[in-house]
Amino acid sequence: MSAPRTGIDVSALSTVVFGKRTVLWWGTLGFMIIEGFTLVLMIASYLYLRQNEFDWPPGRTPQPDLLIPTINTVLLLAVIIPMRRADRAAKRMDRAAVVPALWIATGMTVVVNVLRWFELMALNVKWDAHAYGSAAWGVVVLHSTLIVVDVFETGTIAALFMTGKARRKHYPDVSDAAFYQYFLSLAWIPVYLVVYWGPRVL
Residues 2-30: tens digit of each pLDDT: 566 666 644 554 666 677 878 888 998 99
Say if CB 160 and CB 6 are below 8 A apart. Answer: no
CA 193 to chain centre: 17
Q: How far apart are the first and last CA of the chain?
A: 77
* pTM for the predicted model, two decimal places: 0.86
Rg (CA), the chain: 22
Q: Side chain identity at 89, as an amino acid letter? A: A
Q: Side chain identity at 30, as an amino acid letter? A: G
Burial class (CB in 10 A: 0-12, 13-18, 19+), 164: exposed
Say if CB 58 and CB 199 are below 8 A apart. Answer: no
**Cα separation, 104 vs 49, whole angstroms:** 39
Q: Which long-range contacts (CB under 8 A, 24 or more apart) does 122-127 make?
A: 122/64, 122/65, 122/66, 122/67, 122/68, 122/69, 122/196, 123/64, 123/195, 124/61, 124/62, 124/63, 124/64, 124/65, 125/57, 125/61, 125/62
Q: Does domain 19-201 have CATH number 3.20.20.70?
A: no
Let me know how many helices (H) and strands (E) the chain has, helices first: 7, 0
- Is the pLDDT confidence value at 73 over 50? yes
- pLDDT of 2 reads 59
- pLDDT of 17 reads 67
- pLDDT of 112 reads 97
